Amino acid sequence: MPESSTVTGAVDPATPVLVGVGQAAERLDDPEYAALGEADLAARAVLAALEDTGVPTDQVAAAIDVVAAVRSFEKSSPASHSPFGRPDNMPRAVAGRTGLDPRHAVEEVTGGQSPQHLVNEFGAQIAAGAAEAVVLFGAEVMSTVRNAVTSTDPNPDYSEQVGGQLEDRGFGIAGMISVEEVKHGVVQPTPQYALLENARRHRLGLSRGDYARQMGELFAPMTAVAAQNPYAAAPREHTAAELAQAGADNRVVAVPYTRRLIARDHVNQAAAVVMMSVRAATAAGIDPDRWVFLHGHADTVEQPLMARPELSQAPSQAAALYEALAMAGIDIDDVSAFDLYSCFPIAVSTVADALGLAADDPRGLTATGGLPYFGGPGNNYSMHGIAEIAQRVRHAPGSFGMVTANGGMLSKLSVGIYSTTPVPWRPSTSARVQAELDRRERVALCRFPDGPGVIETFTVIDPDRDSRSGIIIGRTADGARFIGTADPQDPVLFERLLGEDEPIGTQVWVRSSAERNIVTADEATMDRLHPRRPVGFRDSYDDVLVRRDGRILEIVINRPDSRNSLSPRTNRELDEIFDAYFADPDLWVAILTGAGDKAFSSGNDLAAGAGGGLATPANGFGGLTSRRDKPKPIIAAVNGFALGGGLEVAMACHLIVADEEASFGLPEVKVGLVAAAGGLVRLPRAVPEALARDMILTGRRVSADEALTYGLVSRVAPPGEVLALAREVAEQVLAASPTAVRASISVMADSDPKADTVQAVQDSLSVLDRVLVSSDTREGIMAFAEKREPRWTGR
């Protein structure tokens, strides 16, 4: 290694270098187990990293101006929580324990890509002069927390009020999971990756047994590395057969995975990295022999799962790998050490396939021992990989090491190539690569499939238990993709999913509902298990009142105690009622209103909808907001306020009349939601755009008079008279030809508001082909000539 003066003179003083790495861990059976909280265990890793610089820790600590924490699993999603509390500012809590006083504290987004992404990001900041010295760290104490939950000992208290500046970047999980996956219970990594893994097996044409052996052979060498790692959570060497073969102590958790083939999150592990500019490292007196340079780096994002053309592949990962290699100016043969993210076999296979690496590559595919054996400390695993690779290249000066850090379902990949050889900082080129990736085609999603489908991939969770569940991703006849759950009452389908014959590519039957899509082996089974509800009115409903008055149907949302909010049950009932209304030839006009005088509807009943509003019929909120065909008129009689989904339902009606004291608004943004049931689309088309933006972005309400002025409503009634006004309007509609009314509705619904006006008029002339041949047209002309009231038939 060159002398210090030679090294410092060869590179820009702003060049970022890794100068210290540290790790910490404790197991429940350790003699000195202390049940450390996240902040305390992280502090051990940070102190180890400061000590690894080779100079007094206080000397290094004084130079640190930024501390960034990898987000732990206790804060990784809206559903996560801390059963025993946590510091309100984790970066500063750890800083306080380790003698750091940073000017800036950061908590990174969710995802296993975070450690390497932070290195890439802060390397760029150091090179740009925006930072001089940075500590990156992460920790997980899931083993301690789970043990405490089941222990009879007093509960620990890890809560801590630290305060101070914190840049909390949020979850950042958009695109990593979809509404459809949540609806169908695909929210945990194991079934998510099992779906991808089975797709890969099918693409390779391997039997279940052959593929299981391949997974075992891929991971067996990792266990040998873990067995020698003092920080490993499960330091035991296994054969390929011991990993892949199911047994009493190695059950199948989700086809095709046994317990020993998946990431182990029952760990207490922490890791940290110290990065500095060459200038700061020199000033701190850190020996250049300890400096590690980032030669190549890249960050890419894959398409959302349900949009990917091939479920078993992630082209963005290969793109990141080769971009990092190109930046470093080396070939894969020049890399002497790897740490490939290994939460599940396919995460390794995807990278290994792209790089041409074999399972038994003599360089090894992991430097830690891999997530199932070393341990999977949440989002922070790859910080351990970086620490190990930094030590490897230090021990072999001039060599290269590669780290791949994966987030989501092969959703994000961050790559780093490390070496002690000095090199100037190279700015990221990932934006150019990502722009090219983003131009790829996407598979269309079918949210409400009904009919035949073909299995594209599948998994069965806990197949040997009574509570087993099957997940299927398939394609409809037109090629759109759907996700569904295998009907637990269909043993034929489960025999197919669990048998030796290949289920992928076979035909199934799928039927949608508000809650989820159900899959059976065939149509006859579906009809037997889930007979279709006949279209028609029930004798009574739980949440809705229905009254017929001649050709008028009055529908009353009857939940005044909840301000007529719509629960999943209310949505189902309204959907049924509107199906029956449109199918009944004797009904020509419908009026929709709310019980009482306080509210038409306050929208989604968040308390009753445990799915957070996900359990909505195919026809949308209130059975209306996504309904394409509404051939007969519906009048919304707004009494009181129409808020959120209530306004969206009202706007999905053909006419709105309002009580003088009514008000209208979309307050979703005030509770962290958006008006996705039509408000974002219909309101800007119904009122001036400036007003629509004001209402949508601030939650502003408008009065009935304002709504009338802006054209949101057509008429306003005196207080308490809106239903009478709606009935009057309904009678006026009934006085017109129902054939002409329905034809007019059809043309207005089909008209493109952005189309050329003259062209739209010409296109609409075809409506006369239907109207002029109807008996109603003849009746209308005859009644006019005979000076009498027409007798409409609706034909």
Active-site annotation, residues? 648, 668
What separation, in Å, do the N-terminal and C-terminal C-alpha atoms of the chain show?
93
d(CA 461, CA 463): 5
Other residues' Cβ atoms within 10 Å of the Cβ of residue 59: 14
Sheet holding 400-407, edge to edge: 293-301, 412-419, 400-407, 335-340
CA 256-259-260 angle, 5° bins: 100
Residue of 487, 155, 119 lying closest to 297 (CA atoms)? 119
Residue of 677, 20, 85, 71 lying closest to 390 (CA atoms)? 20
Other residues' Cβ atoms within 10 Å of the Cβ of residue 694: 14
Return the residue matching tokens 């035949």: 452
Parallel, antiparallel, or unpaired: how do β-strands 16-25 and 268-277 relate? antiparallel
Other residues' Cβ atoms within 10 Å of the Cβ of residue 169: 14
Other residues' Cβ atoms within 10 Å of the Cβ of residue 507: 12
d(CA 716, CA 705): 7
Q: At what angle do helices 90-97 and 38-52 cross, to 10 degrees?
A: 60
Check if the beta carbon of residue 370 is closer than 8 Å to that of residue 342. Answer: yes
Helix residue ranges, H only, 205-277: 208-227, 240-244
Tokens of 62: 């004084």
Element (H, E) at 276: strand 268-277
- Quick one: residue 243, left, alpha or beta (phi over 0 = left, psi -120 to 50 = alpha)? alpha
- DSSP 3-state assignment of 247? strand
d(CA 368, CA 24): 13
CA 89-95-99 angle, 5° bins: 155
730-753 burial code (b ≥16 CB/10 A, e <16): beebbebbbbbbbbbbbeeeeeee
Residue of 30, 242, 40 lying closest to 137 (CA atoms)? 40
Element (H, E) at 716: strand 715-717
* DSSP codes of every residue in 376-393: --GGGHHHHHHHHHHHHH
- Quick one: residue 285, left, alpha or beta (phi over 0 = left, psi -120 to 50 = alpha)? left
Tokens of 95: 């800083």
**Is the bond preceding 738 in cis, omega lying within 30 degrees of 0?**
no
CA 187-188-191 angle, 5° bins: 100
- What is the CB-side half-sphere exposure of residue 434 using CA atoms within 13 A? 14
Parallel, antiparallel, or unpaired: how do β-strands 715-717 and 655-659 relate? parallel
CA 516 to chain centre: 17
E-strand stretches of 374-439: 400-407, 412-419
d(CA 591, CA 596): 15
Other residues' Cβ atoms within 10 Å of the Cβ of residue 157: 9
User: Which residues does 218 contact at the CB level (< 8 Å), separation at least 6?
Assistant: 345, 348, 349, 352, 359, 365
Tokens of 469: 């569940």
d(CA 94, CA 137): 9
d(CA 761, CA 292): 70
